[in-house]
Amino acid sequence: MSTTYSAQGDAKLDTSQITVIARTESMLVRAHGLAAVIALIVSALFGTVVAIKFVDPEFLGTQPWATWGLLRYNHTQGIMFGWLVNAFLCFLYYATPRLAGRSVTSQRLGWALFALWNFGMVLPGWALVEVNLPQWLLAIKPLEWTEFPLVINAVTEICLVIIIAQFLWPIAMGPERDRLYISAWYALGGGVFTLLAFPMGSLVPEFVPGAVGAAFSGLWIHDAVGLLVTPFALAMSYYVIPAVTGRPVYSHFVSMLGFWILFFVYPLNGTHHYVYSAIPMDTQRAAIAASLLLGVDVIIVVFNQLASLRGAGVLMYRDVPLRFIWVGIVFYLIVSIQGSLQALMPVQRVIHFSDWVIGHSHLAMLGFATFVAAGGMLHAWQRTPGARYHGGLASAAFWLVSIGLAIMFIDLSVAGLVQGKSWAQPVPWMDSVRASMPYWWWRVGAAFPILAGFGCLLVSMLVGRQAILTDEKQ
C-alpha cells in the first residue's frame, strides 16, 4: 500500500494488500485495448484512402462521402480520439490502481465511459462527418484537430469529466496522494488541462471570426498534441521503463523539471502554426521562442528516460512493449528538435504549407505517440488476466510500422523541400504538384507496411499465451 511505483522493487511492497485495496478492472483494460487497435486500423485505412487520392483523385468515385476532405477529418480525429485516447484509457485502467494505491472510482462508470467514448463519440463522429449535415450542431467544423461536430464535442467533454472522476480523483485523493510518481503528475496535469483546452479550442474559434479566431485555433492545434497526447504518452513511458527494468528512473528531480517546463512551455507554442501571418508579430515571436525552449525541455525529458535504461540493452530489445516505448521516445526527441528548428522563421518560410509538415506530424503522431501508446498498452495487456499476447507478432508489428514510418517521414520531408523550392520560383503552381507526384506514390507505398504492422498488432493481442493471473507479477 505504501509503494509509489511497484516497479521500484520497494522492499515494503505488500502485494496482497494492494490487490485488496486497489483492484484492476481487467475487462475495461481489454475493452479499451481492443477498441483502440480497431480504431487504429480504421483510421489508418481512412488515411490510406486519403493518400491514394493524391495519386488518383477519383479513387472510390466522386460521391459526396468519398470526398478527400471528409476522409481526412476521419483519419485525424480517429487517430486521436479512437486510437490514442482509447490506448491511454486502457493503460490508465491498469496503471491507476498502481499509481494511486486505490481502485478507479467505479466499474459502472467505466463501462459508461467506454460506451460513451466509442459508441457515443468516435463512431457517431465518423458517421456525422460522412453524412455531412448542414445544421450547425451536427455540421463538420473546419478547425484542425477538432473537426467532429459540436454535438460530438459535447460528448467528448462529458467523457473528459468522467475521466477525471474515474482516474484523476483516485490519484489525487488516494493513499499515494502526497508522494505521487511522475506518471501520475502527467495524468493529472494532462487531464485537467485538456478538460479546459478542448472546449476552448472547439468553441472559441468556431464563433470568433478571422484573425482572432485563428489565434485561438492555433492554441488548440498545439494543445491537442502537447497537452493531451504528450502527457499521457510520457506517463506511459515513465511507468513502463522502470517497471520493466526493475530500477527507478534516472532522476526524479529531472522528471519534475521536465514536467514543469513542459506544462509551462507547451501551451505557449500554438501561434507557431501561423508564422508570417496577420497575427501580431510579438505573439509569433513569443511562440517561436517557446518552441525553442520546448526542444530544450524534450532533451531533458528524453535524457532522463534513456538514462534510466542504461545497461538494459537486452531488455530493450527483448521486451517488445519496452522496445516500442524507447523507440517512440527517440522519435519524440527527433520530432521535437525538428519542431524547434522548423518554428524558426527562415525555415518556416520554406517548409510551411508543404508536405514537410505532414511528415513532421506523422513522426509525432505515428512515431512518438503511436509507438509509446502501443508499448504502454501492450505492457498493460501482457499483465491483464484473460488477455492473450504474442510477442513475435508484436515484434513484427514493430518492424513493419518502423519501416513504413521511416519511408513516409523521409519521403514527405523531401517532398516538402521540393514543394517549398518550387513555390519560391516563378513557375506555374502546377509544377509543384507535378514534382510532388513521385513522393505521393512513395507515401502510398509506405501505407502498406504500416497497415500490415497494425494488423499484426491486433492479432498479437488475440493469439498467444494468456497472461498469468496474478496481476502484480513484476
Which CB, 360 or 383, lies closer to other proteins? Answer: 360
Which CB, 25 or 223, lies closer to other proteins? Answer: 223
Helix (H, G, I), strand (E, B) or coil at 13: coil
Which CB, 31 or 197, lies closer to other proteins? Answer: 197
**Vertex 233, ends 458 and 380: CA angle to 5°?**
50
Helix (H, G, I), strand (E, B) or coil at 67: coil
Helix (H, G, I), strand (E, B) or coil at 46: helix
Residues 405-424 that bind other proteins (CB under 8 A): 423-424
Which CB, 19 or 132, lies closer to other proteins? Answer: 132
Residues 245-264 that bind other proteins (CB under 8 A): 248, 252-253, 256, 259-260, 263-264
Q: Using the rule CB under 8 A, is 16 a contact of other proteins?
A: no
What is the DSSP track for 173-231? HSTTTTS--HHHHHHHHHHHHHHHHHHHHHHHHHHS-HHHHHHHHHHHHHHIIIIIIHH
Diameter over CA atoms, the chain: 73
Contact pick of 11, 16, 108, 134 for other proteins (by CB under 8 A): 134
Task: For residue 389, list its beta bridge partners.
Answer: 465
Q: What is the dihedral of CA 440, 443, 445, 449, to 10 degrees?
A: -170
Say which DSSP state 385 is in.
B
Q: Using the rule CB under 8 A, is 232 a contact of other proteins?
A: no
Residue that has been written with the C-alpha cell 476552448 in this structure? 200
Which CB, 45 or 452, lies closer to other proteins? Answer: 45
Q: Using the rule CB under 8 A, is 142 a contact of other proteins?
A: yes
Query: 10 Cβ partners below 8 Å, 6+ apart?
Result: 2, 3, 4
Q: Using the rule CB under 8 A, is 161 a contact of other proteins?
A: no
Q: Using the rule CB under 8 A, is 441 a contact of other proteins?
A: no
Nearest to 354 by CA among 440, 270, 294: 440
Residues 265-324 that bind other proteins (CB under 8 A): 267-268, 270-271, 273-283, 286-287
Span interacting with other proteins, options 47-55, 88-96, 325-333, 387-395, rule CB under 8 A: 47-55
Residues 379-408 that bind other proteins (CB under 8 A): none
Contact pick of 21, 55, 158, 452 for other proteins (by CB under 8 A): 55
Residues 181-200 that bind other proteins (CB under 8 A): 185, 188-189, 191-193, 196-197, 200
Minimum CB separation of residue 246 from other proteins in Å reads 15
Contact pick of 11, 108, 314, 425 for other proteins (by CB under 8 A): 425
> Are the C-beta atoms of residues 201 and 219 closer than 8 Å to each other?
yes
Minimum CB separation of residue 395 from other proteins in Å reads 34
Number of residues lying near other proteins (CB under 8 A):
98
Residues 71-90 that bind other proteins (CB under 8 A): 72-73
> Are the C-beta atoms of residues 295 and 344 closer than 8 Å to each other?
no
Query: 238 Cβ partners below 8 Å, 6+ apart?
Result: 181, 182, 183, 186, 249, 255, 305
Residues 317-376 that bind other proteins (CB under 8 A): 349, 352-354, 357-358
